[in-house]
Structure 1
Amino acid sequence: MKRTHLPLNGLRVLDAAARHLSFTRAADELAVTPAAVGQQIRALEDTLGVVLFRRTAKGLELTPEGAAGLEALRAGFLQFEEAVRAMQAGQSSKTLTIAAPRDLTAKWLSAHLSAYGRTDPDLRFVVVAADDELDFTQANLDLAIRLTEGPGEHEGAALPASGFVTVGIEGGGENRIGWPGCPQSEASPVMLTVADAGLAIDAAAAGFGRACVPALLAASDIASGRVRSYGEQLAGVGYWLLAPLPQWRQKKVKSLVAALLQ
């Protein structure tokens, strides 16, 4: 029989019924009805082409055919349990691998990871640059942070302060500082083009002009007075915490997400 065709539910019921020699007690263990146990056993007998139990005056009796496979069956279930424990062992790891834009890491993420790391001395972080195409399996990522409109195919949560804000300094002029992915505007010429929004904030602080950048990225520079905001905050994309469902369900990822959303 092919591995993909193994009647695992029926085999689990067989193991319980053989240990108790009672469909009723097996049903109690498995949290199903005795009728469901009987149906599973009959279906398993049909699949295997053998009789597994007989009812006698003394009660339920396992046939020689049923008894023949029990030792191997129970050894197999023990191997399954070992496999599950091995897969869950990664949950005990406190190393988190995060993909994030370089400017967000410098302007926001590093400080928040440092604060979170102080809550548990065993925490370790690996931060890598976020690529356009995220491959969580190949990169062994636990979590990614992207500037986007939503989670897309992944699970996700939006970081606070979505949208864009225009920043500059007094006397810095109104020339525009451009960066890849910035909102386009024809209101003023581009005096300087830089690689990312973090560098655009730095250029604005140096007096090159004004930069329209993600509000979250500029928050600390605005709060410190290094730059000031001009005009109203613009709605738009924001930073999202993203991960496929298996990673998203991990306890260590849930804890990190909760810390970053505070």
Structure 2
Amino acid sequence: MKRTHLPLNGLRVLDAAARHLSFTRAADELAVTPAAVGQQIRALEDTLGTVLFRRTPKGLELTPEGEAGLVELRRGFLSFEESVRAMQAGQSSKSLTIAAPRDLTAKWLLPRLEAYRATDPELRFALVASDHGLDFTEANLDLAICFDASPGGHEGAEIGPRGFAAVGEGEVIGWPDSPEPATGGLTVADAGLALDAAHARLGRALVPAMLAATAPTLEDPRGYWLVAPLPQWRQKKVRALVAALIG
């Protein structure tokens, strides 16, 4: 069933004016002018097609039509407040869902999460692989780490140096984002495996400098970013995590 458009501003003004039976005192509560209260009430009366207040020698009084809906109106505002509190409850949660490339998770993220959790044993982390793109809504993510030239359409903070570092000697070990194609017989799934293969003397790996924990030897516009949509980025628990990871 299609819902009727609710004039929420007018209904909020009605609630205040009905409690005070005074446009002036309602205006003080709402931090607006008495004229603005009067305009909202008149607009609401036009929308509803009924008179809500009458002026009498004793002052302002509600009409029977105006009084008829107040109980349900106030119950509705209480429900709105409960709904807002429920939506805000996640900000005080100490559970965070993080998406990151598998190689960066193993070689960089996990040690930092361990150190962060040591500051508060109630912290809980759920880790999701982000090798195939990010969907904050579907995965219910709080924060993600991506390898790109920018944070894209999200808020973001860059971590580590940009560019690639060469590790090992011999033929180039291939992996999907390598700046150079494989020149030998070895191709692996990600930079972490390429780095492991180079350490095992199976060839030369060109991997993100931050992953190799060494200075870059090859310039590249891409780097690692902590990213999140603005609502998540503003959450206290996400800001604290970002500070812990880049601090």
TM bucket (normalised to shorter chain) is: over 0.9
Find the partner of 1:218 among 204, 207, 212.
Answer: 212
Counterpart check, 1:255 vs 2:229: no
Q: CA deviation at 1:216?
A: 1.1
Matched residue, 2:175: 179
Change (3 A) 1:23 1:64: same
Secondary structure of residue in 1 paired with 2:61: strand
Matched residue, 1:226: none
1:182–1:212 Cα contact (<8 Å) kept: yes
Mapped partners of 2:155, 2:4: distance in 1: 29
Counterpart check, 1:197 vs 2:191: yes
Secondary structure of residue in 2 paired with 1:232: coil
- Alpha-carbon deviations, 1:130-156, whole Å to 9, x = none? 142322222121111111121222222
Secondary structure of residue in 1 paired with 2:202: coil
- Alpha-carbon deviations, 1:165-191, whole Å to 9, x = none? 2222xxxx3321111111126xx8334
Residue identity in the other structure for 1:125: F
Residue identity in the other structure for 2:145: I
Mapped partners of 1:125, 1:86: distance in 2: 21
1:158–1:239 Cα contact (<8 Å) kept: yes
Question: What is the aligned length?
Answer: 247
Matched residue, 1:166: 166
2:164–2:217 Cα contact (<8 Å) kept: no
1:100–1:127 Cα contact (<8 Å) kept: yes
Matched residue, 1:58: 58
Residue identity in the other structure for 2:76: G
- Alpha-carbon deviations, 1:18-77, whole Å to 9, x = none? 111111111111111111111111100000011111122222111111111111100111
Mapped partners of 1:206, 1:133: distance in 2: 30
Secondary structure of residue in 1 paired with 2:173: strand
TM-score under structure 2 length normalisation = 0.93
2:102–2:131 Cα contact (<8 Å) kept: no
TM-score under structure 1 length normalisation = 0.88
Residue identity in the other structure for 1:43: A
Q: CA deviation at 1:104?
A: 0.2
Find the partner of 1:238 among 220, 223, 228.
Answer: 223
**Which stretch has the larger CA shift, 58-67 or 72-81?**
58-67
Mapped partners of 1:68, 1:2: distance in 2: 24
Mapped partners of 1:13, 1:43: distance in 2: 11
- Alpha-carbon deviations, 1:89-139, whole Å to 9, x = none? 222221111111110011100011111111111101111111423222221
Q: CA deviation at 1:80?
A: 0.9
Matched residue, 2:37: 37
Secondary structure of residue in 2 paired with 1:98: strand
Mapped partners of 1:163, 1:118: distance in 2: 32
Mapped partners of 1:39, 1:61: distance in 2: 17
Q: Which has the higher strand share?
A: 1
Q: CA deviation at 1:233?
A: 4.2
Mapped partners of 1:72, 1:189: distance in 2: 74
- Alpha-carbon deviations, 1:201-231, whole Å to 9, x = none? 1111122232111111111xx4xxxxxx6x7
Secondary structure of residue in 1 paired with 2:186: strand
Mapped partners of 1:62, 1:103: distance in 2: 67
Find the partner of 1:206 among 190, 200, 203.
Answer: 200
Mapped partners of 1:133, 1:161: distance in 2: 22
Counterpart check, 1:141 vs 2:134: no
